[in-house]
Structure 1
């Protein structure tokens, strides 16, 4: 039995189930009115794809419909190298900017796409393909504010570990394009359609990517975390696991999350069958030190620390990862830890408690071969935590 192989395959099953490639066919089949609309030769389709999943959403849309022009704005290193160098995908311009804190390119490319959008008339229809991350990628300061003001605001909000609902509410006050403000700058005769892959618990359209086209456009949810969890549950059962989903809307801190994961591990010991225990949600992780890490990596490190005096003859693993492939300001998606992880860290000279105080989970997990690396996944639907426990002796 290979728990490492199983836990990674379950994670990837969840990721794939939330990708535009997987979601698009069933979605368009369920919306024939939209299919007819975007296939109308009398109208010009302009696509604005924004967010971490912008490239894959645009690519998928092109598989189904003709597009006259468009613009992809995504996170650095989220475009394939060939597309990045050409700065084009067919008729679509392709640009990258900064996440989770905006930079000069965020404003530069936002103004570039805004100029194009403002030229669209009633012979066009604007298709906005929206995913998480758009808040920092697409930014133009409101009158009276500067980009530096917005950068400082974002740094403060993210360091405090506030819920995304509160972060994006504050962001809207400083922005000229969030909270539906983008629509106010466009031709009032232009029809706008927004299609979303949600990275927000509850899928509130006021929150996702800070709502550049809501309220005001026709708005459709294409995918969210539930698609991922359902797929993981099905695959886990197919692999012979008993499956328990603790929560599909988990919003606790990394510390509380680790404690709950450890509690579930301890409880699972009483059941001899092999088990898969799932959490889905958006972890919260205040930054207390000057280290490098992310909320999923910190959760994994905290779980490892809690297992210091945990004894069992059964193998187990915990994966905590972001479905977008990037956890915090790092190149890792999260962490994977098991029975040997804490011992490896200590043997290599690390003090996990000290590193947690520094918010420095990345280096200790990397040195312990406990990081999850995926690269950009093409989607973004919150965090997934998977606990696997091997079968016990009967």
Structure 2
């Protein structure tokens, strides 16, 4: 079977622009959460978020690109530029028919769509809207696939190109699709990852309605508390991560630096509830077991787990049960952490951001901590790496994700040469 490796990483996350600032932030365990600045959040229950300090012009996007692209597409473009530069891949000398794009997003161009609706409807006062008040690029905002199109056009990628939208597992699933296309021989290089920019009034109102986000507005930096007994919900975030995923022999022939190999990927649906999770974690556990089988690993081989760790009680308990089900006693020995405690929950983007973290953990031998984990929930009794980073010698890292709609996904990265 053809094998796939990661040769480039680009990250845009709260608290820093680029791969290295992201890594420093999560290893230091310093939450990048504050009161929302892009609109007045005072009418809402949850008024805080993990925002990206993003200057599109300073990062090289032209005025035309900034006008045409929604914020989430701009994020993806900046990350893809960084990932391709990191990979050393010369697209001018590549077979463009063998280069594809797999991008994940949960909510697409939420910001642009809401802004345009507010203008067209005169703040919701008009049911029949006048299209003449809308900007000319509304179609690109309406169709999430425009993100993949933008990247394909930017890099002249003529291979498979699509947007994967599976809620909060979109980032893992988009990279998983890239893996499968390479395994199937449909591409040699995939620009893969996810992006979301959901911090808008409509998104905040929706999560307020189901009380999923935290009301701890008086303590923004301490508000995201995965696995802690005092948690009150997740902190909304934004961001993106893009990986260059490459067929192993293709990477070897050009002498590429390899971060890791993608050795296992599996997904399940729980068929249970649109937003609820079964406490036994059976479907997520099955996805983990399937991914282990693909990688030809046993539970004891896993040296680090990047948890979904959203900071809601039902997720944290469901996830803890899934690890016990899938890994047995090893679940109590392996270091686990949630970087959402630092960068918040960027919906579809977070899975790709967490996979970027896994690649860096394997390369650098350090597990980022779970910030704000002071009093563990007794039902979450695993090693969730509280407060302080830890050195490890991990050869295989697992990342798990859960998404609204019942999506459950797992992916395994392995150090170069560690795969069976």
TM-score (norm 2): 0.28
Q: Comparing both chains, which one has the higher relative contact order based on Cα–Cα distances under 8 Å and sequence gaps of 6 or more?
A: 2
